[in-house]
Amino acid sequence: MKYGALIFISLLILSACKKKEQPLPIFGQREVVGNDTVYHHIANFKFVDQDSSLITNDTFKDQIYVADFFFTSCRTICPIMKTQMLRVYEATSDIPDVKLLSHSIDPEYDTVALLHSFAERLGVSSDRWHFVTGVKDSIYKIAQTSYFATAMEDKSEPDGFIHSGAFLLVDKQQRIRGKYDGTKEDDVNRLIADIARLKKEYE
């Protein structure tokens, strides 16, 4: 076999081994408008975080972020979720364009002052991890219609609320690119890896 043919075959084998990593999926409905595809994105919101700062979509302009829903008095899955979200916080400590956004689904109890104390106990910085409160119906609506997550009052539940343990990965266009079980270490490992994959899309 000629030398040139050997090189060609070697390159084919190399290219097969280096299979191009597929981009993360984009969640939700999409609509074709002319020659463009319009994807589902997070609706406009206004909440207040643990430092009394107004948090809106603009807070996350040109940012990747991970969102979840919780409440501070939760005795079931929330403590596990916060332990796992701390892992995400620590894993992304050197990545300035990655943030975290935790929505309280019990805004009547979870005041700004209480959220501030909660964040302090976790030892996290408000410039990277926002714990937000706001109008209850607005929080429930954005959970269900923007993030496709469960968040509602349910008096039959031990703590009076029901919510999913989902962590949602949101890109710089505010589109959902991944959904993960925030109570499972393996799923959170996958989230951390997917954050790195998503960052590569912007390089």
Contacts of 119 (CB under 8 A, 6+ apart): 50, 126, 129, 131
pLDDT for 156: 61
pLDDT for 180: 98
| pTM score, whole prediction | 0.86
Average pLDDT, the chain: 88
Helix axes 185-201, 78-91, angle to 10 degrees: 40
Structural domains present in the chain: 23-201 (3.40.30.10)
pLDDT for 31: 84
What gap in Å lies between CA 183 and CA 191, rounded to an integer? Answer: 12
pLDDT for 118: 97
For the chain, list residues with pLDDT below 70: 1-20, 152-161
pLDDT for 133: 97
